[in-house]
């Protein structure tokens, strides 16, 4: 009997070692992930290992959720549940699941039951999170202890990611605000900045750049005209055609923007510096400020050039009327290989419905 009990305990220890090994192997990747949703998904995967359910994970349903001011948001889900990040939790989970999650938030404590558990944890900044897990057998004291220890430590990582995302979102707001300030001096609204940014991301993705780099271009392109803050108002907003001398002054905004941004080591600002400097270069080498041609022009500059011209032509300015879509398309086909990278023109034309959807979405309201 003693030997059988020892064998039983050895099996329990061995199973927990297997789960712990999986956690350790996954931790390096898990804690490098910045996205809250990806991180939460990793947490659910690790809890599956802790409970030794990795061999039968399809029959386990779990949620990681967080609470905002009033709403409860789903961060990740596993098993039978699929959701979109914009879905409301009450439209996704079954009533008994929602009730358990709401109870955990209300009581501010974890609960362990016969076939499910809720693990509540709160960060030092006050962010509340709950992990709901069903499909497991009733947990023994050791597994409860492991889960509570794990969740208390994970709460620190959750808090760090929240703070990181808050810093990143603040940086993005500042970047777009700088771009809007530059555009407002030439009587443009922030919609121009937003449209160009979205066009750039779409073109970058269709060109084959990875999602992360496409998002970088989206953000950086908002500062393409930041150098205009150094151009006198009487030239920037002059109705009618500029003189040769005035046009030479306007052209300097590319060098001004580059000079403002070139000293940073941040990826977004470095990309913005390239874009500010090169978005008026032309594929045939007849652009400014340096007369670069073809692939001498950085792909960021080539993408932004096309996006900026499309939006500028279709928008009324103090010195011109807005072009019709037909006129713009004729111009783009004519300038394929001239003003614009021919591959990007083809991508633009092939994705015209998506381009026009963005134009409509960020039109003046």
Told to judge if 228 belongs to the known catalytic residues of this protein, a careful annotator would answer: yes
User: 29: helix, coil or strand?
Assistant: helix
103-120, pLDDT tens digit by residue? 988 898 888 888 788 888
- Cross-strand pairs, 133: 62, 117
Q: Which of 201, 228, 282, 359 is catalytic?
A: 228
Q: What is the C-alpha separation between 29 and 25, in angstroms, rounded? A: 8
Parallel, antiparallel or unpaired: strands 72-78 and 61-67: antiparallel
Highest mean pLDDT, choosing among 39-53, 140-154, 263-277, 331-345:
331-345
Collapsing DSSP to helix, strand or coil, 6 comes out as helix
| Burial track 155-175 (b if 16+ CB lie within 10 A, e otherwise) | bebbbebbeeeeeeeeeeeeb
pLDDT tens digits, 8-27: 767 666 655 655 555 555 55
Domain-wise residue ranges, the chain = 2-164, 185-361
| Strands 128-134 and 61-67, sheet pairing | antiparallel
Best-predicted range by mean pLDDT among 27-31, 162-166, 199-203? 199-203
- For residue 291, is it left (φ>0), alpha (ψ between -120 and 50) or beta? left
Tokens of 258: 């580059």
Highest mean pLDDT (candidates 13-17, 147-151, 171-175, 263-267): 263-267
CATH topology of domain 185-361: Hypothetical protein af1432 (1.10.3210)
Rounded CA-CA distance 60/79 in Å is 5
Domain 2-164 bears CATH identifier 3.30.450.40: yes
Q: Determine the Cα angle at 201 with ends 178 and 39, to 5°.
A: 90
User: pTM higher than 0.85 for the full model?
Assistant: no
DSSP for 305-333, written as a single string: HHHHHHHHHTS-BTTBPPPPHHHHHHHHH
Listed as own residue / partner, the contacts of 50-58 with beta carbons closer than 8 Å and 24 or more positions apart are: 50/16, 50/19, 50/20, 50/23, 50/143, 50/146, 50/147, 50/150, 51/19, 51/133, 51/136, 51/139, 51/143, 51/147, 52/15, 52/16, 52/18, 52/19, 53/135, 53/136, 54/19, 54/22
* Tens digit of each residue's pLDDT (9 = 90 or more) over 255-299: 999 998 888 888 888 999 999 999 999 999 999 999 999 999 999
Question: For residue 19, how many C-alpha atoms fall within 13 Å in the half-sphere facing its CB?
Answer: 24
Phi-psi region for residue 63, left (φ > 0), alpha (ψ -120 to 50) or beta?
beta
């Amino acid at each position: 009997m003693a030997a059988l009990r020892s064998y039983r305990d050895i099996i329990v220890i061995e199973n927990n070692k297997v789960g712990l090994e999986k956690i350790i192997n996954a931790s390096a990747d898990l804690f490098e992930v910045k996205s809250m949703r990806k991180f939460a998904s990793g947490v659910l995967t690790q809890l599956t290992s802790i409970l030794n359910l990795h061999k039968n994970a399809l029959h386990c349903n779990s949620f990681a959720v967080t609470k905002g001011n009033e709403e409860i948001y789903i961060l990740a889900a596993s098993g039978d549940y699929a959701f979109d990040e914009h879905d409301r939790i009450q439209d996704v989970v079954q009533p008994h699941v929602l009730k358990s999650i709401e109870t955990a938030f209300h009581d501010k404590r974890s609960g362990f039951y016969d076939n499910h558990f809720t693990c509540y944890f709160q960060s030092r900044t006050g962010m509340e999170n709950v992990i709901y897990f069903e499909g497991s057998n009733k947990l023994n004291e050791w597994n409860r202890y492991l889960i509570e220890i794990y969740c208390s430590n994970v709460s620190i990582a959750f808090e760090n990611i929240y703070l990181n995302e808050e810093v990143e979102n603040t940086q993005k707001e500042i970047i777009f605000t700088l771009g809007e300030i530059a555009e407002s001096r030439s009587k443009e609204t922030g919609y121009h900045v937003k449209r160009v940014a979205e066009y750039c991301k779409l073109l970058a993705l269709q060109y084959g750049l990875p999602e992360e780099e496409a998002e970088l271009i989206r953000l950086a392109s908002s500062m393409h005209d930041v150098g205009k803050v150094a151009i006198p108002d009487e030239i920037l907003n002059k109705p009618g055609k500029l003189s040769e001398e005035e046009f030479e002054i306007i052209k300097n905004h590319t060098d001004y923007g580059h000079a403002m941004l070139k000293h940073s080591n941040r990826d977004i600002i470095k990309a913005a510096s390239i874009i500010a400097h090169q978005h008026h270069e032309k594929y045939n080498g007849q652009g400014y400020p340096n007369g670069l041609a073809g692939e001498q022009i950085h792909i960021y500059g080539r993408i932004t050039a096309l996006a900026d011209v499309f939006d500028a032509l279709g928008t009324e300015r103090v010195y011109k009327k807005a072009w019709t879509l037909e006129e713009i398309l004729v111009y783009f086909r004519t300038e394929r290989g001239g003003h614009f990278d021919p591959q990007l023109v083809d991508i633009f034309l092939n994705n015209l419905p998506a381009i026009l959807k963005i134009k409509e979405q960020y039109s003046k309201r």
